Amino acid sequence: MKIKEISGAYSENCAFSIIYGDDFDSLDLIASTPEEANIWVTGINFLIGANKSSDALESRQKMREKWLQEVFDQADAERKGMLDEWETIAVMKKINSQLCIRQLKQKIMEFDIGKDEEERGRINKKLFVTLFKEIATRPDVYFILVRYCGKDYMSVEDLQLFMEGEQGVCGVTLEDCEQLISKYERSEEARKNKQLLIDGFTQLLLSEECDIKSPLHKEICQDMTQPLSHYFIATSHNTYLLEDQLKGPSSVEGYVKVLQKGCRCVKIDCWDGVSGPVVYHGNTLTSKIPIEDVLRTVNDHAFAVSEFPLIIHLENHCSLDNQKQIASLMKQIFQTSLYIPEKDKACPLNCLQDLRRKILIKGKKLANYNADEGEVSDEDDSAESRASKETLKRVPLCRELSDLVSLIRTHYFDLSVVDLRKENEVSYFNEAFASKLALACAEEFVHHNKSMLTQVAPDVSRVDSSNVNPFDFWNCGCQLVAMNYQTPGQMMDYYRGWFQQNGFCGYVLKPAFLRERFCLFNARRKDSLPGIDPLCIRVKIISGQHLPRPRGASSKASAIDPYVTVQLAGVPADCAEVRTRTISNEGNSPIFDECFEFSVTVPELALLRFVVLDDDYINDDFIGQCTIPIECLQSGYRHVKLYTSDGECLPNVTLFVHVSMTHRYGIKQKLRRKRSWSSKQGTDLRSVGLKQVDEAFKSGSNLINESTQIRKDIERTMVDLCDECSLHESANVAQCLRVFVLRLASCFSVTSFEIVKPEPQSFPTIKICGELTGKLSKSFAVLEKALAEFYFASRNANTTLEMLDESHDALVKFGDELTNLCSLSGIKGRKADKITENFMWNLSVLKTEMDMLRSTKEDCECALLQVERLSVALKRLFECERESITKSSSKEPLKNVDVLISGASLLTEPEPKQPPPLTPTSPNDARLRGILKKSPVTCTDSALISTSVTNNEEKAETTLNTQEDVNIDNDNSTPLENS
């Protein structure tokens, strides 16, 4: 059957392979469903582990049961031998807070069937143990444990390899793993044995150590010493409003809520009131609040969450007397926190760090510094959006209030005046005008926002307080995109998610291409960043935990029909949305087991949003969501905490996913093309049109080609290594080493394995005693080559980077003189603009190549350090596997056959929209439904099985020796054509 015919009927997750013999020949198999493939693969691995140590499984089960019995005895203080329903639930929740009370009650009711009236609702010790096992054991997690380790527990060495390899956590030591076991393993006996059983492993995966959000970004992790214009700033629109823009209430609670959510720019609309200035949405039916109440509330909560500067957007519509009163109240209430330009010259606006715990006033300012009062343009949003520069209405402004303004609100109608602006000016655009700029002159708009603050406000037509898509303006570098915080929804989820990437401080450093002067970026072009390799993100939705009914779903049945959508937001070319199938009548632990791929060209401006919905005929109801910037995303097996539409965390409600990210995706296919992909040079530089500048770029072009060759050599080396280890091209060195060691342990002619730490100016080497088979010799050569390539690439990259830096600095000097050079050559108009564009393109290519080479260098250094860190664990792994294989091979086998179970990427076509026909072993078969719906996600290693067959009185004796783990997902597999 042809590959295309197979792929049309089956998902690639249905495929797995048995690799057998010394040369690892392949037997490729396809199951009817991914769940069925999981059963086969996991079951075989479990049999392997049981065969190696026949009494180990029983021993560990006893450890778990002993712990549960001890827990029961402690709860049964009166020694009645029974616990009632609420006592049982309380104890269960104490030892595992993730358990669902409703599910516990339901299971206790099932146990009551057939009992006498007196015994109902009472649980003895045996039932207590059974109840916990049935409720707390998650099959999806259990499958991963068995498939990865070939047994139902993790040793310290297994855990280190899991954290470094599968989870992508760098710097994990054996001591760290011992601490994790001590922290999460519940059985005292298992802790003494330094083993992590299923309950401890489940708790580890649910802990902060395995959260999908990087812990680095939960604290302030970005450079906070740059100018305000270099940051995205969390901004609120009409902060005082709690509902719509026309007749809803105004309240100081609006300020409390946004400030507690990390907002750093709030708006105050000041109008004349009966007894002084008030705050409300002018010329509407919204209620009014005294400005003194607003100022005191702001002062009380300004730095409760973030100590970085708070900007008050002051929209002034008051008389001169009330303006003076406002100025006096600000000085009195804010005191030393108020930034006054004349007094705070020691704290310039070009360093965010120096402005900590300062309140900056943004508004209009008098141009004449000597006048006591004057006129400025009307600050009404709708007025500025409708009028031209010449027809804006003029309103009075007093000196006292003007002197407090440190950020001057302006309205630029022409971006060509870029060189005339000041660092303390803020361009103010409404949504419609800013959208026109983003479409008509995107590159000029980006350049404008590199050195000047820009605020974008929602159109006045959004009377329902709906929100803009912030990416429409973030992609152009706009810093202050104002949002209606009171309106939940997709756009507000994007906003809250985006500002969590720097410790929730309300400031996020813009990417370098939105800050650096000579860097070209246009989010709407296909090649928005020249020379960038897209990031491939594979997300597998494995399961959900304790999904609640949607709000207001009281009229529905108690069960829900959940499905998951995954949205990618960013530049237009990156935006995508996918969804899983619906799981009927299952909210407690639905199994989705579906994988999706995203190609991200600009990960610095992208985020993922996971949304869980209840499928309904009329309208799909929202259950929960989580939005994560790509910069915060962690790879491996992760739990995604879900949040309400208001951003409140739903307790114990999670999605279990597997994430892998790589820039190497598709390289294997490129390498197979007739034209050698590796011979293709980097991104072409453009001819600028000025002879001296083009000559300077020639040396830079040669350096770019050298850099590109270094990167491609490393990429090809990693692809070869992954291919040799039967892993997906996104695999890392730790995963490849584990596969190699497990294979090595099954070769009886090899007596020892060791990684020798490097001497100065060298790299780690592998010491093997014994004779290798032909296949292992090839694998060993590929691995040695990879280590050497990592070492020499990191050294050569240093030299190339230094030369690229020098070339870049020299070319930047030409940029400062570009206008004069064009004038001297008699070039002007469109030709001069084209020269500038090509010059910035070339500098962008040069800078991008430097960044990518620097990243490659860091990856190489990290890989070498990882080899050193894992040397002890890999040696112990070899010794343990060899000991197990030796024991299981003591049955005098007549014939040895090495078999590898691995999830093969047998199919190259997309997954079918409709599932294949049901079979007697499909998930809908009542006999298997309970276990099939608990199928796991990607596993990244394979399992080597050594089979011994003895013909003795018509009996066959089979010995299975694990060398690698099982992998049925495309993440870690070998295509059929290469098997």
Would you say residue 219 lies in a domain?
no
Strand ranges inside 285-352, DSSP E: 289-290, 310-316
- Number of Cβ within 10 Å of residue 292's Cβ equals 17
Determine the structural domain holding residue 627 and report its residue range: 535-662
Of 732, 133, 167, 865, the closest CA to residue 158 belongs to: 167
- Domain of 117, CATH number, reads 1.10.238.10
- Dist CA 181 CA 186 (whole Å): 9
Q: Does one domain contain both 655 and 674?
A: no
Judged against a pLDDT cut of 60, whether residue 516 lies above it is answered with: yes
Q: Does one domain contain both 16 and 134?
A: no
Q: Does one domain contain both 273 and 402?
A: yes
Angle of helix 56-75 relative to helix 85-95, nearest 10 degrees, comes to: 120
Would you say residue 527 lies in a domain?
no
Would you say residue 871 lies in a domain?
yes
Query: At 379, is the pLDDT very low, low, confident or very high (cuts 50, 70, 90)?
Result: low
Would you say residue 881 lies in a domain?
no
Query: At 433, is the pLDDT very low, low, confident or very high (cuts 50, 70, 90)?
Result: very high
Answer with the residue of higher pLDDT: 685 or 295. Answer: 295
- Dist CA 76 CA 58 (whole Å): 26
Residue-wise pLDDT tens digits, 30-75: 888 777 777 787 777 666 666 655 555 566 677 888 889 999 999 9
Judged against a pLDDT cut of 80, whether residue 633 lies above it is answered with: yes
Q: Is 108 in contact with 121 (CB distance < 8 Å)?
A: yes
Would you say residue 410 lies in a domain?
yes
Q: Does one domain contain both 98 and 133?
A: yes
Q: Does one domain contain both 589 and 610?
A: yes
Q: pTM of the full predicted structure?
A: 0.85
pLDDT of amino acid 838: 87
Q: Does one domain contain both 14 and 105?
A: no
Among residues 611, 642, 662, which one ends one of the domains?
662
Given 237, 301, 411, 448, the catalytic residue: 237
- Domain of 638, CATH number, reads 2.60.40.150
Among residues 514, 547, 577, which one ends one of the domains?
514
Q: Does one domain contain both 103 and 138?
A: yes
Q: Which of 5-9, 238-242, 412-416, 677-681 has the lowest mean pLDDT?
A: 677-681
- Average pLDDT for residues 754-760, to the nearest whole number? 85
pLDDT of amino acid 368: 72
Q: Does one domain contain both 900 and 947?
A: yes
Q: Does one domain contain both 913 and 857?
A: no
pLDDT of amino acid 392: 65
Residue type, 763: F
150 CB burial (10 A radius; 0-12, 13-18, 19+): buried
Given 281, 301, 313, 546, the catalytic residue: 281
Query: At 26, is the pLDDT very low, low, confident or very high (cuts 50, 70, 90)?
Result: confident
Judged against a pLDDT cut of 60, whether residue 618 lies above it is answered with: yes
Q: Is 971 in contact with 942 (CB distance < 8 Å)?
A: no
Would you say residue 967 lies in a domain?
yes
Would you say residue 223 lies in a domain?
no
pLDDT of amino acid 617: 65
Among residues 642, 662, 682, which one ends one of the domains?
662
- Average pLDDT for residues 407-423, to the nearest whole number? 71
Query: At 375, is the pLDDT very low, low, confident or very high (cuts 50, 70, 90)?
Result: confident
What rounded mean pLDDT belongs to the chain? 82
Residue-wise pLDDT tens digits, 129-169: 999 988 899 989 998 988 888 788 899 999 999 999 999 99
Query: Would residue 546 show up in a list of annotated catalytic residues for this protein?
Result: no
Total count of domains within the chain: 5
Would you say residue 939 lies in a domain?
yes
Q: Does one domain contain both 816 and 852?
A: yes
User: Beta strands 943-948 and 276-279: pairing type?
Assistant: unpaired
Judged against a pLDDT cut of 80, whether residue 425 lies above it is answered with: yes
- Could you write out the DSSP letters of every residue in 749-768? TEEEEEEEPPPTT---EEEE
- Domain of 408, CATH number, reads 3.20.20.190
- Alpha helices, DSSP H only, in 471-553? 471-474, 490-498
Angle at the Cα of 333 (from 331 to 335), degrees rounded to 5? 55
Q: Does one domain contain both 50 and 64?
A: no
Query: At 518, is the pLDDT very low, low, confident or very high (cuts 50, 70, 90)?
Result: confident
Q: What is the largest CA-CA distance in the chain?
A: 113
Residue-wise pLDDT tens digits, 114-123: 777 777 888 8
Residue-wise pLDDT tens digits, 189-215: 899 999 999 999 999 999 999 999 999
Which range has highest mean pLDDT (142-151, 529-538, 819-828, 871-880)?
A: 871-880
Q: Does one domain contain both 337 and 405?
A: yes
